[in-house]
Structure 1
């Protein structure tokens, strides 16, 4: 198995506190930010920040659907970690000041990929889908900030 890592980063117009508050709102804001490749989204516990547990289906392709059961933690200031309890899938959201009232937001997603020929295709094509997902969340976040 090879470790697959995908990072997306963008500067958005909003203070780090406001951006992190929106990203941490799994009950209100987050359902509105998910793209069509996320279905059956549900908050199981909590709803805001650390201690929140969410479930959803991630449609990597038309045929490949991954069930995600993620527990949210805050490993350090300005960070949210969504850790799937069923796999090695992890997404860490990081927010830091970017000057002039803006924030740099990054999403770093990692997981242990398959081996063999399936792993080759996963390593080649899965990052495209993860970038699309992260960029859609950031697009929605920017729209909410304006």
Structure 2
């Protein structure tokens, strides 16, 4: 039996929400914000990309489909493969800034490996997403200066 594993992080980004959303919606630009353990990022077609992630001692290649259930506010990246990984990016205006929330869920392992995964993966992904949000904020600040 598999279990759903969930992780999230949020941060206020120092830029208007519509601008931040455009940064995230631009798949090629968004790849610049991905920290390790993400690598080997390639856009396959409009609305689809693939990358590798070195996570928990193993490398997985994921093929993601992008949808916009709420254009200008919510982006969803869903794995086309069997992992069940779905990552949602929600951008909420906060005055002249944007609150960005990254939330993921995926089908975890069963048994002892699954128990460990449910404890370790959310913490690790929270840190990784924190780094991604910090990179996004740094980029947004650079654009203001430039």
TM-score under structure 1 length normalisation: 0.90
Q: Which moved more, 1:123-132 or 1:107-116?
A: 123-132
Aligned twin of 1:93: 89
Aligned twin of 2:128: 133
State the superposition RMSD in angstroms: 1.1
**What does residue range 1-146 of structure 1 map to in structure 2 within 5 Å?**
1-27=2-28, 29-46=29-46, 52-61=47-56, 63-77=57-71, 78-86=73-81, 87-99=83-95, 101-146=96-141
Structure with greater strand share of residues: 2
Structure 1 runs (4+) greater than 4 angstroms displaced: none
Q: Deviations over 1:12-59 (max 9, x none)?
A: 1111110000011112x222111121111100012xxxxx11101111
Instruction: Give distance in 1, aligned partners of 2:22 and 2:16.
Output: 10
Question: Offset at 1:132?
Answer: 2.2
TM-score under structure 2 length normalisation: 0.90
Aligned twin of 1:49: none
Instruction: Give distance in 1, aligned partners of 2:126 and 2:27.
Output: 20
Question: Offset at 1:115?
Answer: 0.8
Gaps of 5+ in 2: 142-146
Instruction: Give distance in 2, aligned partners of 1:53 and 1:32.
Output: 16
Specify which structure has the bigger relative contact order, considering alpha-carbon pairs within 8 angstroms and separated by 6 or more residues: 2
Structure with greater helix share of residues: 2
Q: Deviations over 1:107-133 (max 9, x none)?
A: 010011111001011111111221122
Gaps of 5+ in 1: 47-51
